[in-house]
Amino acid sequence: MADWQEITGGITAPRGYQAAGITAGLKPSGLPDLALIFSEVEAIAAGVFTTSQVKAACVEYCRQRLQAKQSARAILCNAGQANAATGTQGYLDTLESALAIAQALNISSESVLLASTGVIGQRIKMDALRSGIPKVVAALSQTGSDAAAGAIITTDLVTKSIALETTISDRPVRIGGIAKGSGMIHPNMATMLAFVTCDAVVSPHLWQQMLARAADRSFNSITVDGDTSTNDSLIALANGQSRTPAIIEWGAEAEKLEAMLTAVCQHLAKAIARDGEGATCLIEVEVTGAHDELSARQIAKTIAGSSLVKSAIFGRDPNWGRIAAAAGRAGVPFEQENLQIKLGNFLMLENGQPLQFDRGAASAYLKKAATGAYLQQDTVLISVNVGNGHGVGKAWGCDLSYDYVKINAEYTT
C-alpha cells in the first residue's frame, strides 16, 4: 500500500500557500483566465520544460530565472494567449508581467515564475493583465486551489487537482498539484501546464532531480495526439513550512518524498490523458520483461501513441495486431517469440503465437470503459511482456475519436 493518503485542498493543502483564479478578460469566452500561486515564504523551486525548439517567452524566462536562482515565491499563469512565437515584444511582455505581479505582492521580480497557455502566435493582452493583477492578488486564499485550477484551463473539460499527505520525522508533509492539458499532448513535456506545491524542506539539487524523474514517469509518459507544445511547463515549489528536518541527501525520507511527488504527477498526467480532446476513455499500457525501465517506457509510449491502436480502442475493436505492430516499431530490440499481449483480462498472444479469445466479450470490455467512472472504471488496460528482463514501464493515452478532428479543425475559428 502507498505510504500516504489523499487529502483535500489541491495546491493550497501544503502549509504556507495561497492561490487564486479570476476572470481578467484574457479569454474571448469570458471564463476565468488568470491564476496565481503564492508561497508565504521563499520556496525552493524546480522546473521541467518543453524540449521544443520553438519555446514560449515564459519558458525562456523561467529557465533563465531558475538557472540564476533556485527559489521563488509566486507563479502567475495566464490562459488565452500562449505568447509563443511572438518575438522580442512577447519577451518584453513577460518581463513586464513578472515586474507587475512582484510589485503587487511586494516581492522581488526574481522570485516570480510565469506560465502561459492559449493560441500560439498571440501576445498576452497586456491591458487586461495589468488590470487583472491587483484583482488576482486580492483574491489570494488558503482555499483558492480550485479557482486557480479553473483559471488555467483552455479546451479542458474538467479541472485537474490532487493533494497527498505522508509523515516524515513524525510530522505531516503534504504535496499538492494542479494541471491543465487536453490536446497537443505528447512526451517531452507532454499543451500542458502543471504546478506542484510541497511543504517539505529539501535541497534545491535533490528537488530538481526528484522532479525530473517524476516527470519522466508521468507527464513524459502520456500522449494524446503526438504533438509537443511550445509552452509545456512543470514547476514545483517546496517551502519548508512542515518544519521537518532538511532532506539534503538520498535516503529513506528522500525516497518517500519522491515517491509521493511521482504519485501526484502521475495522477495529474492520467487526468490530462483522460481529458484528451474528444476522448471517451483512458488507455494504460504496462510493459514488462524489457532490459530496463527506459526501454519498457519507450515501448509503452509507442503503443499508447499509436493512432491505429487509439482508433481501434475508440471503435471497441480488440485488434491486438495493432498493439504488436506498435511494440515492434518502438526501437527497442526484443524476440518476437517472447511477445505476450493482454487486453484487460483477455490473453490474446502468448510466446508470439495468437490465441483464441472471446472477441465479443473483449469488445464489451472496451465499451464498458467508455461509460465508466472518471479515472476509476474508465481505463482500458493493455499489458505487454517482451521477455525476461527486469524493466517495467507504463504510459497513458486515450482513444482517438471523431470529435478530436472537429475540435482541432475549428480551434482558432
pLDDT tens profile 235-255: 999 999 999 999 999 999 999
In this structure, what DSSP letter does residue 358 have? Answer: -
Instruction: Give the type of residue at 46.
Output: A
Grid coordinates in use for 379? Answer: 481505463
Containing 349, the helix (H) or strand (E) segment is: strand 346-350
- What's the mean pLDDT when you consider all of the chain? 93
User: What pLDDT score does 368 carry?
Assistant: 95
DSSP line for 233-265: EEEEEE--TT-PPPB-S-SHHHHHHHHHHHHHH
Query: What is the distance between the alpha carbons of residues 345 and 381, in angstroms, rounded to a whole number?
Result: 9
Closest CA to 158 of 270, 58, 28: 270
Residue 185 has pLDDT above 50, yes or no: no
| Among 92-96, 164-168, 373-377, 396-400, the least confident range | 373-377
β-pair partners for 234? 48, 194
Residue 190 has pLDDT above 80, yes or no: no
In this structure, what DSSP letter does residue 373 have? Answer: P
3-state class (DSSP) for residue 345: coil
Closest CA to 204 of 70, 397, 350, 69: 70
Residue 47 has pLDDT above 80, yes or no: yes
User: What pLDDT score does 225 carry?
Assistant: 58
| Among 113-127, 180-194, 329-343, the least confident range | 180-194
Tens digit of each residue's pLDDT (9 = 90 or more) over 99-114: 999 999 999 999 999 9
Tens digit of each residue's pLDDT (9 = 90 or more) over 300-336: 999 999 999 999 999 999 999 999 999 999 999 999 9
User: What pLDDT score does 187 carry?
Assistant: 43
CB 317 within 8 A of CB 362: no
- Provide the percentage of residues in the chain whose pLDDT is more than 70: 95
For residue 186, name the pLDDT band (cuts at 50, 70, 90).
very low
Q: Using a cut of 0.85, tell me whether the model's pTM lies above it.
A: yes
Annotated catalytic sites, by residue? 191
